[in-house]
Amino acid sequence: MSSNNGKIGSIEAETGEAYTSAVSHIDLMPQPVIAHARDLADGDTILPHSHAKAQLIYASSGVMVVTTDTGAFFVPPQYAIWMPAGIVHRINTRGPLAMRTLYVRSDAAPDLPAEVCVLKVSRLLRELVLSAVEFTDGYAEGSAQERMMLVILDQLRLQPTAPLALAMPRENRVRKVAENLLSNPADNRRLEDWAQVAGASARTLARLFQSETGMSFRTWRQQLRLQKALELLAEGRPVTSVAIDLGYESPSAFIAMFRRTLGAPPTQYLPQS
């Protein structure tokens, strides 16, 4: 495992064990928050692993998909994922990724979320995280560095959650529909049509989507399209092209959905020149 410039080679990034062994010392460090920088290449994968400390996994540039037993979380640069201690997760990159992770001692912030969630990252928190990675060797109690880390914890408490999780159903019939839509998010077939594919009644399929994912069929499909839209926008695809590729009748309908869900136009998620 190479640690030159905080980079993981694509082969080495294939094993969660190799990655966790490189950062295992962080779990033993006494400071309330420790930051760690790691750069990954396009297509790198860190296989399922977990940590003894909670994490804020943030990419200052690039896009990642973080997968847990409960679903997939698409994380663009303006966001981070909060990962409680002990949760097994997998990370896949979508393009080169500058990953900047905070490891939080469990007793340092017991009021932070107990479940995995995506957080909107303010400009202030972003700059604090980027500064924090300069102190990877730890810092003294009562030092300016420790005070900055405590400010980070305060800022974490203020960040709003974002609807960027996509729960994957496990029941065979509803999973069949979900996998079809994952392959083609633009498919506009109605619930009644998908019920025939699943071999169930429309009422049963609707009930299964709600019980398996916590969302209605319509909301789940919208969430899938939102995640795919963020991925395409991060690649620099024009908004009109993204709208068409995802099955929207018009760019304006896509933009309205995007604004309603994330509170900002899709152009805000295009790469910054």
Q: Are residues 236 and 122 in the same domain?
A: no
**Based on the domain organization, do 195 and 70 belong to the same domain?**
no
Say whether pLDDT at 10 is over 50: no
In this prediction, residue 22 has a pLDDT band, given cuts at 50, 70 and 90, of: low
Q: Are residues 148 and 177 in the same domain?
A: no
- Residue that is last in its domain, among 109, 129, 162: 162
pLDDT band at 32 (very low <50, low <70, confident <90, very high): very high
- Final residue of a domain: which of 103, 133, 162? 162
Confidence class for position 11, pLDDT limits 50, 70, 90 = very low
Percentage of the chain modeled with pLDDT above 70: 91
Q: What is the pLDDT of residues 143-199, one digit of tens each?
A: 999 999 999 999 999 999 988 889 889 999 999 999 999 999 999 999 999 999 999
The rounded mean pLDDT for the chain is: 88
Q: Do 258 and 134 fall into the same domain?
A: no
Q: According to the 3-state scheme, what is the secondary structure of the chain?
A: CCCHHHECCCCHHHCHHHHHHHHHHHHHCCCCEEEEEEEECCCCEEEEECCCCEEEEEEEEEEEEEEECCEEEEECCCEEEEECCCCCEEEEEEEEEEEEEEEECHHHCCCCCCCCEEEECCHHHHHHHHHHHHHCCCCCCCCHHHHHHHHHHHHHHHCCEECCEEECCCCHHHHHHHHHHHHCCCCCCCHHHHHHHHCCCHHHHHHHHHHHHCCCHHHHHHHHHHHHHHHHHHCCCCHHHHHHHCCCCCHHHHHHHHHHHHCCCHHHHCCCC
Same domain, 94 and 224: no
Q: What is the pLDDT of residue 1?
A: 34
Q: Token digits for 101?
A: 């992770």
Final residue of a structural domain among 162, 181, 197: 162
Check whether residue 244 and residue 118 sit in a common domain. Answer: no
pLDDT of residue 3: 37
Question: Residue 151 belongs to what domain range?
Answer: 4-162
Spatial contact of 167 and 70, defined as CB atoms under 8 Å apart: yes
* CATH number for position 9: 2.60.120.280
Residues 120, 141: one domain? yes
> Does the structure show a pLDDT above 50 at 2?
no
CATH of the domain at 256: 1.10.10.60
Give per-residue pLDDT as tens, 218-236.
999 999 999 999 889 988 8
- One domain, residues 75 and 176: no
Do residues 17 and 94 both lie within one domain? Answer: yes
Q: C-alpha 234: how far from its chain's center?
A: 14
Give me the pLDDT at residue 21, please: 62
Higher pLDDT, 99 or 137: 99
Q: Is the pLDDT of residue 138 over 90?
A: no
pLDDT in tens, 71-118: 889 898 889 999 999 999 999 998 888 999 999 998 998 999 999 999
Let me know whether 174 and 154 are in one domain. no
Do 173 and 150 lie in one domain? The reply is no
Same domain (yes/no): 229, 112: no
Average pLDDT over residues 239-251: 95
Residue 9: pLDDT above 60? no
What's the structural domain count of the chain? Answer: 2
The answer, yes or no, to whether residue 18 has pLDDT greater than 70, is no
Closest CA to 200 of 175, 181, 180: 175
Q: Which residues pair with 175 in a beta bridge?
A: none
pTM: 0.81
Segment 256-262 shows an average pLDDT of: 92
